[in-house]
Amino acid sequence: MSKVNIGLRGWRFNEDVLGSDGRVRPLKTMEPETRQRLLVLAERVVDPCDACWLIHGDEDIEQCNVADAIYGEPMGEVVVCSDHETDFIYWFREEDGEAYAGDTDLASAFHEWFLDGNRAPEGYVGLEHVDEDPTALPEAPDRDEAIPGLKEEVEQMDEEDLDTIDMDLSDLDV
């Protein structure tokens, strides 16, 4: 089965997460880990890049780029724009960031490294991306454009189903 990115590069999902109509299939039919990743992704897909936010903060948030990629594990994920993805990749590969793979401390460790003034060296090649359809997503999608059908799916869940998710979904505007 093929893997697909949804909304941001980085986290890859089995293509069966989406139905034939391209919309998210019912959340309660998914494995808990997949469901959690989709919900975290929906929360973070319109967030500013973590590195930009560390530079500009909330008071100058309009200077931040919207995230293009997500790395790490839910609740310890890092979202970065294309400009700062190379910094993250460099930190992960060359500065022992890989020690945090699978750990929710990954985000705080990267943030600390970045706040200490560290960056990828000039000319460092991080990842080369091949976009099959680079215009498929708008530059700053809203959550429903990035993850089609997720909002409707969450709206249709009953209290018991929502309790099993064990996440605050208030940011999803449902």
Tell me what percent of the residues of the chain surpass a pLDDT of 70.
81
Extract the tokens encoding 20: 């034939």
Amino acid at 73: E
Dump pLDDT digits (tens) for 77-115: 999 999 999 999 999 999 999 999 999 999 999 999 999
Could you tell me the pLDDT band of residue 147, with boundaries at 50, 70 and 90?
confident
Predicted structure pTM score: 0.77
Extract the tokens encoding 84: 């700062």
Q: Is the pLDDT higher at 172 or at 125?
A: 125
- Secondary structure class of 75 (helix, strand, coil): coil
Asked whether 79 and 73 are in contact (CB, 8 A), the reply is no
pLDDT of residue 137: 41
Q: Measured at the alpha carbon of residue 130, what is the angle toward residues 127 and 131, in degrees to the nearest 5?
A: 125
Q: How many helices (H) and strands (E) does the chain have?
A: 7, 4
Which residues, including other chains, have CB under 8 Å from residue 137's CB and lie 6 or more apart? 7, 145, 146
In the numeric block, the tokens 């992704």 are attached to 41
Task: Check whether 130 has a pLDDT greater than 60.
Answer: no
CA-to-CA dists, residue 162 to 16, 123, 147, angstroms: 22, 46, 18
User: Sign of dihedral through CA atoms 137, 142, 145, 148?
Assistant: positive
Lowest mean pLDDT among 21-30, 54-63, 98-107, 142-151: 142-151
Q: Is the pLDDT higher at 154 or at 95?
A: 95
Q: Measured at the alpha carbon of residue 120, what is the angle toward residues 76 and 61, in degrees to the nearest 5?
A: 55
Extract the tokens encoding 148: 């089609």
Could you tell me the pLDDT band of residue 138, with boundaries at 50, 70 and 90?
very low
Dump pLDDT digits (tens) for 40-63: 999 999 999 999 999 999 999 999
Task: Check whether 133 has a pLDDT greater than 90.
Answer: no
Distance CA 39, CA 157 (A): 13
